[in-house]
Amino acid sequence: MAIVRGAGRVAAVLAIVALAFGTAPCGTARAQTREETLRAVSGSTINSLDPTLLNATRESIALGMNTYDRLVTFKRKTVDGHLVFDLAHLRGELAESFTVSPDGLVISFKLRPDATFHDGTPVTVEDVKWSLDRAVLAKSGAAPQLSTGSLTRPEQFTVVDEHTFHVTLEKADQLALGNLATPFARIINSKLAKAHATADDPWADEWLKSNEAGGGAYTVDRFVPGEQLVMKRNNTWKSGEDGKLPYFKRVIVQVVPEAATRASIVERGDADISIDLQPTDVIALEQRGKVKVVSNPQLNAFSFFAFNGKRPPFDKVKVRQAIAAALPYDGMFKAALYGRGRALFGAAWTDEPPDASFPQPMSIHTDPVLAKQLLAEAGFPNGFKTTLIFSVGNAAIAEPVAALTKEALAAIGVEVEIRKLPDSQFASVATDKTFDMMTDGSAAYLPSTDYFFRIFFQGPTRWNFGSWDNPEIATLTQQARFEPDMSVYAKLAKRMIVLAEQQVPLVMLWQPNQEAVMARNIDGFTYWFHRQIDYRDLYRQ
């Protein structure tokens, strides 16, 4: 009976999707429209048209990348046969060109003279100024992100002439230019936004939640929060790679929360693309061979196992080292992800990592004998009792990790109570640092080593999961952030990695693959830092 109910539910969802996408055949005109329409199914909702909203979903952020332009954007490169964003190289988007002064303190942009917003209004340097002022002053997710590139004050943004704009820094910052390529540095039609501002809402925050004021590759044609988004191509767009328009004239995004149902919809041909499916579904789809699967390790994301370094006994380095030595890495990787990702354990290096990148595989291995020895040296020859938490939303990955951890730690005398918490409660416990051990995943927009260590390995923040307080790390990250000599930067970065290896504030487990499943005639999929689909990249063969 369970199978019948499941099949009936899938059939019902498929029928709804067919109606939403308009898949019923209606002759040549319909066929032409279908060719030029991309149909995507999303697991999560687009909850706002403003990608900088504090609680904006990743899907909303992806929408912002497609409907707004920024001054610059990252180029793309090919890694292992797949397209990924290139953190080290940027191109102009709204900027026709840009230069960085020899001392790194002034970034100069020349605006495209023919760029317009969706309503036909020309894009001006005054729009750029207002948009970046808003980004650092309005109460949103933009200011904290841009501050990681030393972009914090309106005085840094200067109109030079009708086509020239300057961003000025007090110190040359590695990530200033990269931050201007993120969704938080979008350029808004300031005249339109200011027409809907009020004394209580000077930046038109409320209006921008449900209205779009951009000039990007697509315009919002229909938006039903929690259900569907329809976008139309902006045929006057000038900011594409080599000046090209996107292939698809229309994009329809339908919300279908169940991963297995999304997989069925794409395999049946009722949709063109979906991401973030379960590994078991992806494996089955690959075996049947009716769709194309693109799997990229999420190079700026990671799954981890964290210890609360402020709470005994995890304030002792040897206890953390002992637990790290006991964890069954290979078993967890296979059980949680079926090996679909990049392992961040098992590296061969000892004294120094091979390069300065991060995350990278750490020199950590399963060694129960060493684990028991370290526990004894820490004063716990008979082990201790502790708890391990994870969130309901991460259960598909975390449950097998937790079960195998409990079994492995029992073998060295550590008794683990597993607690699966609702997402909101888990977030509160993680923020308040009232846990013993936790497993979860996270990501950084800009995967440079100093950025990772600033965000995840220092300070009294939610993201310093292990509550690590190491003065040397604080010094190293500040030095690296403003270091123009890449050979010196590499030495600083390698030292950070060695310290994390030695003191184990958290264990880096792996970078899960982003699983993108698409029709066999869809190409151009690119892995982006925001871990969502950029519809501008895609085309039909």
Residue 84, beta-bridge partner list: 77, 527
Query: What whole-number distance in Å separates Cα of residue 162 and Cα of residue 311?
Result: 57
| Residue for token pair 């600033």 | 454
Residue at 77 is within a domain = yes
Q: Are residues 338 and 383 in the same domain?
A: yes
Which CATH number goes with the domain that contains 244? Answer: 3.40.190.10
Residue at 341 is within a domain = yes
Go through the chain and tell me how many residues it has: 541
Strand 301-307 and strand 437-443: the pairing is antiparallel
Which CATH number goes with the domain that contains 75? Answer: 3.90.76.10
Q: Are residues 382 and 444 in the same domain?
A: yes
Measure the CA angle with vertex 105, ends 359 and 74; round to 5°.
45
Query: What whole-number distance in Å separates Cα of residue 302 and Cα of residue 293?
Result: 21
Residue at 233 is within a domain = yes
Q: Which domain holds residue 264?
A: 2-47+59-64+216-291+519-540
Residue at 449 is within a domain = yes
Segment 326-347, tens digit of pLDDT: 999 999 999 999 999 999 999 9
Neighbouring CB atoms inside 10 A of 99's CB total 11
Question: What band does 19 get if pLDDT is binned at 50, 70 and 90?
Answer: low
Query: What whole-number distance in Å separates Cα of residue 269 and Cα of residue 23?
Result: 10
Query: What whole-number distance in Å separates Cα of residue 496 and Cα of residue 405?
Result: 27
Residue at 52 is within a domain = no
pLDDT at 46: 86
Q: Are residues 373 and 476 in the same domain?
A: yes
Which CATH number goes with the domain that contains 490? Answer: 3.10.105.10
Residue 523, beta-bridge partner list: 539
Q: Which segment of 25-29, 37-41, 194-198 scores lowest on mean pLDDT?
A: 25-29
* 537 to 82, 293, 517: CA distances (angstroms): 13, 16, 15
Residue at 375 is within a domain = yes
Q: Is 229 helix (H, G, I), strand (E, B) or coil?
A: strand
pLDDT at 53: 81
Q: Are residues 255 and 113 in the same domain?
A: no
Segment 421-477, tens digit of pLDDT: 999 899 999 999 999 999 999 999 998 999 999 999 998 888 999 999 999 999 999
**Domain stop point among 160, 192, 224:** 192
pLDDT at 6: 45
Q: Are residues 364 and 449 in the same domain?
A: yes
Report the pLDDT averaged over residues 130-143. Answer: 93
Segment 344-367, tens digit of pLDDT: 999 999 899 999 999 999 999 999
Q: Is 180 helix (H, G, I), strand (E, B) or coil?
A: coil
pLDDT of residue 118 exceeding 90, the answer is yes
pLDDT of residue 193 exceeding 50, the answer is yes
Helices (H), 242-289: 259-268, 279-288
Residue at 200 is within a domain = no
pLDDT at 301: 94
Residue at 203 is within a domain = no
Query: What whole-number distance in Å separates Cα of residue 93 and Cα of residue 490?
Result: 30
Query: What whole-number distance in Å separates Cα of residue 215 and Cα of residue 188?
Result: 8
Q: Are residues 245 and 279 in the same domain?
A: yes
Q: Are residues 268 and 156 in the same domain?
A: no
Report the pLDDT averaged over residues 246-257. Answer: 95
CB 267 within 8 A of CB 404: no
Query: To 10 degrees, the CA torsion angle through 236, 240, 243, 247?
Result: -80
Q: Are residues 41 and 24 in the same domain?
A: yes
Q: Are residues 325 and 260 in the same domain?
A: no
pTM of the shown model: 0.89
Q: Kindly state the helix (H) or strand (E) to which residue 336 belongs, with its residue range.
A: helix 329-337
Q: State the SS3 of 303-323.
A: EEEEECCCCCCCCCHHHHHHH
Segment 33-46, tens digit of pLDDT: 789 999 999 988 88
pLDDT at 11: 54
**Sequence letter at residue 300:** N
Q: Are residues 326 and 220 in the same domain?
A: no
Q: Are residues 85 and 186 in the same domain?
A: yes
Number of domains within the chain? 3
Q: Are residues 181 and 330 in the same domain?
A: no
Segment 508-532, tens digit of pLDDT: 999 999 999 999 999 999 999 999 9
Question: What band does 393 get if pLDDT is binned at 50, 70 and 90?
Answer: confident
Residue 389, beta-bridge partner list: 419, 438
- Please state at what angle helix 329-337 crosses helix 395-410, rounded to 10 degrees: 160
DSSP output for 445-489: SS--HHHHHHHHSSSSSTT-TT----HHHHHHHHHHHT---HHHH
**Sequence letter at residue 91:** R
